[in-house]
Structure 1
């Protein structure tokens, strides 16, 4: 353990302390990267360069996540221009009978949508269409924010069962099939999610239901008329325009602005409210059907031999490509004369949305990568044939001999490591490392490698994906529901940690 090792660990401890204080850690991550690299190389020049190179490496490794968010957001933006996004999930609004039922329905719908499209791109859609109905039924905005964060940022990302990016990253280090990790991660995320939802309901939701008068008096940052324009960008110029203001609130970030949406294919008149066009109805039916077919294809490949197996993160390219083609088709339907500009505009808005919501992760991930040997050599400017340092792995390897060879202890050690990795505000950059550690711990403890990797994946995803740190997409959840992101993270801590502990205990004792 060199001085650079201890400095890296001190930087990690400083980040954890900043997390506990509910403050942004970007500045801490930048400073820790500089000091660690300077201590290792003995040169401030290397330290300065490491800050920049670390950001480049982090951007490259996270680019696939940014692009898939951008493509799905762009497709939803094109649907929004037609009004098809509202039609797609409007039938679900009839399920919101009272606040208690709304809590469950909002959780289930958010989980299913987030599992299929990832939570960040669908958050504006959920907040614009389902949230108003849930609040009108008596569910307080804070209760809705808890349901959305637990099921979207936690459960869906914890398993990433459909996209398969997270299991693929975990499998790189664990040397086991990504499908095996995905299956176990899904079970863990479901157990943790159900426990977290139950704890949050008993602790914060059921005692704070709204009466009809209080529900009617609440003004949400995003309404159906704005259709999430303030979070995902402004619509394109056309014949009929609906304007509204979306103000994202929260101590940790967010923003506000005036959203102008266009509904070019909505028939309206002076005698009544606007009616959705035939094109909007067609798109509202076709898009869910298309992704349902894609989901069935992927599941058949995973569990049968009828079609080729889609594994090792190949689900994300399929979903991304499908979203891109759907964007083109929807743009043609919406605006046959200007569809080329429509596609470019929506894609640009999608890219901007992805970087606006996830860009803060880059410098934090850069610091995490300095501690991983697969990336540290490039960040520190070492020759290709030089041995790259692994500050984090070395530190854990230093402690590993003292971890009892007991599956339960190994499981909770992996959960703790995963949660530390998740402090970067994303959780996935360190998954190859946790996979490698899972393989190492399983040799001595006899625990299943895939299970250990899945535990760490859930710990990292729930923490960094957006339930425990405020520099993640939890900012978007808070902004769209109009609650404080600091208060939301604070109230999520007990339900989420309880859920993860219970899930880890269960899977560690059941073969």
Structure 2
């Protein structure tokens, strides 16, 4: 099963290890990513000029792929700036503050709300909906912004996306590859998603609480909504209260529209983004009056400055990892073997083909293959491979196809969909103004423990 691995594959693996090593050592990864892109391009094309061009082309490809996320984050931040300067955010959060009194309540309430919204609309629009409103509430309750990002990330991109019980995009892909009905994969995934979710979130909260007690977090380092500027309070109290009611109503209308029109993923995010721009325009014109037209541009510039500041370190590493997937051909050209499914998927297939079979080894291998295919940062590009591997393994061990398929799906999405790959968790990190690499490091231990426990549970279910 799979393509014969070449020097390109092993070079890619080598640079992945070097990049992970840089992350562990808390060193910047940009140089290693650029060197990796250049080396792989040189090996593939045997042309120095093409390799130099490949670096720039990979950056363009990464920016193109990340553009919707950069745009929605920039717009939401621009909107949050005007909400803060007009005092509307304080009027908006006062009702929530009555319920979210402690860091623990903030973590679990935000997480559960994120999970529920993400089931219906996927995590990116859910982050935009919740972050602007609930981040300041959580900060005032004593939960650091990194804790808010973890809650949104683990419950949304982790629990909700890995099960995908409502939209069913992920189980459809894996079920088709494993020649199973979608309902079988969903049913098999329920105990695994519950196990993974409970273990990961409890461990994450325990570690977060421990570090909070040690005084490792400081509020001034974490708030984007309170910002580093004075509140100007251009609007009188009555207008602030009106907009504090109108703005959540506008986003609730978005949620209803998404449900009625069945908008999901990018379409749902676009609706949220367009609404945020609409709110930004109205508030700028209302609060700044004669300077309103200029202030619209000013707020957008602030948002885009923030967006590109956050995404700047991520573009090189995303550019490198996109080479592992379909981006290779688009960036460098057709230099992989004819039957290659992409470097990352080839590596996953080679691993699956090289291990002896038992239900225990099958479970460990599916978790590993899923994690490897998740390294490209999409979470979805490799889950068809996990379905195919699960189908082969179940035939060899005499059963367990649905459980193995669900396990591979869960592993791929938790890693790449994502809670561990830095550019996959940027929406939550950017809304909360925390370092995506620090968020990935913070998620690492809980997610790894969760995958280990979930893999063990799967062994008994096969």
Structure 2 length-normalised TM = 0.76
Whether the aligned pair in 2 keeps the contact of 1:455 and 1:504 (CA below 8 Å) is: no
Q: Distance in 1 between matches of 2:186 and 2:90?
A: 32
Structure 1: runs of 5 or more not aligned: 136-140, 230-244, 246-258, 268-276, 300-306
Aligned to 1:196: 200
* Residue in structure 1 matching 2:138, options 125, 130, 141: 130
Deviation at 1:405, TM superposition (A): 6.7
Is 1:8–2:16 an aligned residue pair? no
Q: Distance in 2 between matches of 1:263 and 1:183?
A: 52
Aligned to 1:455: 411
Q: Distance in 2 between matches of 1:381 and 1:454?
A: 32
* Residue in structure 2 matching 1:341, options 289, 294, 304: 294
Q: Distance in 1 between matches of 2:437 and 2:314?
A: 16
Deviation at 1:296, TM superposition (A): 3.8
Deviation at 1:32, TM superposition (A): 0.8
* Residue in structure 2 matching 1:394, options 330, 338, 346: 346
* Residue in structure 2 matching 1:86, options 86, 90, 100: 90
Q: Summarize deviations over 1:209-240 as a string: whole Å, max 9, x none.
A: 59xxx99xx9731699x8432xxxxxxxxxxx
Q: 1:260 to 1:202 in 2, by over 3 A?
A: closer
* Residue in structure 2 matching 1:317, options 266, 270, 287: 270
Is 1:440–2:388 an aligned residue pair? yes
Aligned to 1:44: 48
Aligned to 1:280: 240
Deviation at 1:10, TM superposition (A): 1.2
Deviation at 1:56, TM superposition (A): 0.6
Deviation beyond 6 Å, 4+ runs, structure 1: 179-190, 386-389, 404-408, 507-511
Q: What secondary structure sits across from 1:326 in the alignment?
A: helix
Q: Distance in 2 between matches of 1:170 and 1:129?
A: 33
Deviation at 1:66, TM superposition (A): 1.0
Aligned to 2:283: 330
* Residue in structure 2 matching 1:58, options 51, 57, 62: 62
Deviation at 1:413, TM superposition (A): 4.2
Deviation at 1:95, TM superposition (A): 3.5
Deviation at 1:394, TM superposition (A): 2.1
Q: 1:291 to 1:56 in 2, by over 3 A?
A: same
| Alignment map for 1:457-472 (pairs within 5 Å) | 457-460=413-416, 461-465=418-422
Of 86-95 and 122-131, deviating more is 122-131
Q: 1:41 to 1:222 in 2, by over 3 A?
A: closer
Q: What secondary structure sits across from 2:14 in the alignment?
A: helix
Deviation at 1:152, TM superposition (A): 2.1
Whether the aligned pair in 2 keeps the contact of 1:172 and 1:432 (CA below 8 Å) is: no
Whether the aligned pair in 2 keeps the contact of 1:145 and 1:477 (CA below 8 Å) is: yes
Q: Distance in 2 between matches of 1:455 and 1:10?
A: 22
Q: What secondary structure sits across from 2:263 in the alignment?
A: coil
Q: Distance in 2 between matches of 1:81 and 1:368?
A: 39
Q: 1:85 to 1:298 in 2, by over 3 A?
A: same
Count of residue pairs brought into register by the alignment: 434
Structure 2: runs of 5 or more not aligned: 395-400
Deviation at 1:129, TM superposition (A): 4.5
Deviation at 1:331, TM superposition (A): 2.6
Q: Distance in 1 between matches of 2:13 and 2:204?
A: 33
Q: Distance in 2 between matches of 1:497 and 1:70?
A: 31
| Alignment map for 1:163-312 (pairs within 5 Å) | 192-203=196-207, 205=209, 209=213, 220-221=219-220, 227-229=225-227, 245=228, 259-265=229-235, 267=236, 277-299=237-259, 307-311=260-264
Whether the aligned pair in 2 keeps the contact of 1:200 and 1:495 (CA below 8 Å) is: yes
Q: Distance in 1 between matches of 2:233 and 2:39?
A: 52
Q: 1:72 to 1:312 in 2, by over 3 A?
A: closer
Q: Distance in 2 between matches of 1:184 and 1:329?
A: 48
Deviation at 1:102, TM superposition (A): 2.7
Structure having the larger proportion of residues in strand: 1
Deviation at 1:22, TM superposition (A): 3.0
Is 1:25–2:29 an aligned residue pair? yes
Q: 1:466 to 1:12 in 2, by over 3 A?
A: closer
Q: Distance in 1 between matches of 2:211 and 2:18?
A: 37
Aligned to 1:362: 315
Q: Summarize deviations over 1:128-156 as a string: whole Å, max 9, x none.
A: 4432x323xxxxx6xx4563242123322
Q: Distance in 1 between matches of 2:188 and 2:423?
A: 21
Whether the aligned pair in 2 keeps the contact of 1:416 and 1:459 (CA below 8 Å) is: no
Structure having the larger proportion of residues in helix: 2
Is 1:494–2:445 an aligned residue pair? yes
